[in-house]
Amino acid sequence: MPMTKSKWFLPLFATALGILVFAAQWIGGDPGGGLVSLAIMTAVGALFLFGGRSETIRGLRGDGSDERFRQIDLDATAIAGLAVIAAVIVAFVIELARGHSGSPYSWLGAIGGLTYVVSIVVFRIRG
């Protein structure tokens, strides 16, 4: 069942994330970098809000409710997941080769692997 989102969801989410990153950078002693981060995330939010004529922007925003958009989203999510998993594995191995514990990549990999296994079990039971 598709989730209907307001056209304001993604712009507001991007801006809220920008505010969160700004606060984190300010706390970390880099308020200037935080302002840059906030500006970038607010600009991304504005692009999602005002770029509505673009089919790509509408698809990213979740306006595309047809099967084609859902399949594109599913494929893109899978590819992004594979890229992150590959990066975590490479970083983990590099950290081990440097004589370190592999953390935080070990627990990131464990979260990914456990989520995958649980998802397979849940989808198998449901399907």
List pLDDT tens digits, range 2-22.
Answer: 455 677 888 999 999 999 999
Q: Which residues contact 69 (CB under 8 A, 6 or more apart)?
A: 59
pLDDT of residue 116: 93
Three-state SS sequence of the chain: CCCCCCCCHHHHHHHHHHHHHHHHHHHCCCHHHHHHHHHHHHHHHHHHHHCCCCHHHHHHHCCCCCHHHHHHHHHHHHHHHHHHHHHHHHHHHHHHHCCCCCCCHHHHHHHHHHHHHHHHHHHHHHC
The terminus-to-terminus CA distance of the chain in angstroms comes to 15
List pLDDT tens digits, range 13-70.
Answer: 999 999 999 999 999 999 999 999 999 999 999 998 888 677 777 777 766 667 888 8
Per-domain residue ranges of the chain:
1-65, 66-127
